[in-house]
């Protein structure tokens, strides 16, 4: 009985990682259900309700204890910068979900790992192997092909989502806070910016009149929609090696593509589908790089 427990925990971790990315991919349908509310107003409610949900969840899990002692000016600066990236990412994703540009948001999350690699190489001198350089060249070629030949796409959506999420992931690599603590810092920073914006500009949290109760109930779930995938992802990250976690990066963009085709009926050209497949394959090569390196090291005659 006890011998099976590690296998059960591993299966739960895999399920948690897949579920986190599935929920993120399917969340376009959640924001589409709130299309009667302006995207900027939705973003404001997402920030406030995410903050409330995070505080409750972290208090229940005992993760608020000791958080203040782990904060420093450097950590606060990192997460303030991350907050600016995530608010642009969230806002673009909500707008794309409401206006039917879900293929583009999926493409954005597909190219985000490559943006993170470029940012890491430029900012911190991360090593660029021939495989990484080749994969990046393929991505650049595919993006250029979409810009030149995929007239049905809103190119700003995937370029903004990809660049903000990739840079955000890069910043998260250099923080000492866990996923919950980091997001709490970022959400507090965003809440401060939101309050300042409400006080000094025309930004409003006023909802359209006569919204159905179902819409109000859906809006109340904004915080859970943001925090639940994070909690599931944290469960997976604590139990799985990075080589396995990397493969979850396929789930979100692939789910977004399926949602776009099945639920939104979004028109997609052959050129876009081909470029999506090329980028998907390049990501597979990139993620398999550590496995390929391990295989090379185990070959007879490999220098030790």
CB 161 within 8 A of CB 253: no
Place 292 in a pLDDT band, splitting at 50, 70 and 90.
Answer: low
- pLDDT at site 284: 87
Judged against a pLDDT cut of 50, whether residue 293 lies above it is answered with yes
pLDDT of residue 58: 92
Q: Is the pLDDT of residue 272 over 90?
A: yes
Longest dimension (CA), the chain: 74
What SS3 string covers 24-44?
Answer: HHHHHHHHHCCCCCCHHHHHH
Nearest to 271 by CA among 149, 102, 111: 149
Q: Please check whether residue 303 lies inside any domain of the structure.
A: no
Considering its fold, how many domains does the chain have in total? 1
* Alpha carbon distance 149, 273 (integer Å): 12
pLDDT at 148: 96
Query: What is the pLDDT at residue 265?
Result: 97
Q: In the predicted model, what is the mean pLDDT of the chain?
A: 90
User: Where would I find the H helices in 100-178?
Assistant: 102-124, 130-149, 155-172
For the cut 70, the answer to whether the pLDDT of residue 296 exceeds it is no
What is the residue range of 66's domain?
14-298
**pLDDT tier for residue 3 given thresholds of 50, 70 and 90:** very low
Does residue 303 carry a pLDDT above 60? no
pLDDT band at residue 304 using 50, 70 and 90 as cut-offs: very low
Tens of pLDDT along 126-139? 788 888 899 899 99
The predicted pLDDT at position 299 comes to 60
- Residue 254, pLDDT above cutoff 80: yes
Residue 168 lies in a domain: yes
Closest CA to 95 of 34, 186, 159, 23: 34
- Does residue 1 surpass a pLDDT of 50? no
Is 0.85 topped by the overall pTM? Answer: yes
Inform me whether the pLDDT recorded for 294 exceeds 90: no
Question: What mean pLDDT is predicted for residues 285-298?
Answer: 69
User: Residue for token digits 């080589």?
Assistant: 243
Distance (Å, whole) CA 261 – CA 146: 18
Which of the four pLDDT bands, split at 50, 70 and 90, describes residue 143?
Answer: very high
**200 domain residue, yes or no:** yes
Residue 8 in any domain: the answer is no
Within-domain flag for 123: yes
In a domain, 138, yes or no: yes
- Give me the pLDDT at residue 97, please: 97
In degrees, rounded to 5, the angle at the alpha carbon of residue 221 between the alpha carbons of residues 62 and 77 is 55
Tell whether 224 is covered by a domain: yes
Residue 4 covered by a domain: no
Asked whether the predicted pLDDT for residue 241 surpasses 80, the reply is no
């Amino acid at each position: 009985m006890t011998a099976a427990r590690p296998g059960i925990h591993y299966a739960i971790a895999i399920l948690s990682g897949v579920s986190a990315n599935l929920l993120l991919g399917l969340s376009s349908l959640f924001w589409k259900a709130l299309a009667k509310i302006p995207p900027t107003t939705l973003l404001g409610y997402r920030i406030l309700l995410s903050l409330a949900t995070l505080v409750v969840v972290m208090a229940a899990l005992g993760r608020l204890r000791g958080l203040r002692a782990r904060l420093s000016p450097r950590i606060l600066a990192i997460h303030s910068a991350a907050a600016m990236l995530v608010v642009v990412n969230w806002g673009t994703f909500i707008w794309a979900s409401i206006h039917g540009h879900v293929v583009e948001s999926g493409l954005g999350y597909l190219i985000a790992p490559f943006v993170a690699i470029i940012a890491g190489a430029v900012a911190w001198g991360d090593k660029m192997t021939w495989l990484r350089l080749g994969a990046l060249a393929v991505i650049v070629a595919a993006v250029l092909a979409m810009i030149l030949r995929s007239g049905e796409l809103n190119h700003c959506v995937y370029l903004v989502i990809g660049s903000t999420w990739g840079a955000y992931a890069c910043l998260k690599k250099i923080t000492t806070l866990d996923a919950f603590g980091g997001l709490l810092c970022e959400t507090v920073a965003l809440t401060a910016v939101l309050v300042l914006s409400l006080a000094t500009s025309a930004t409003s949290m006023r909802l359209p009149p006569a919204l159905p109760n179902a819409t109000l109930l859906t809006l109340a779930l904004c915080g859970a929609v943001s925090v639940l995938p994070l909690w599931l992802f944290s469960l997976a990250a604590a139990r799985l090696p990075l080589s396995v976690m990397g493969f979850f990066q396929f789930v979100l963009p692939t789910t977004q593509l399926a949602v776009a085709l099945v639920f939104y009926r979004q028109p997609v050209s052959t050129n876009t589908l081909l470029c999506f497949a090329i980028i998907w394959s390049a990501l597979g090569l990139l993620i398999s790089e550590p496995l390929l390196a391990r295989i090379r090291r185990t070959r007879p005659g490999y220098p030790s």
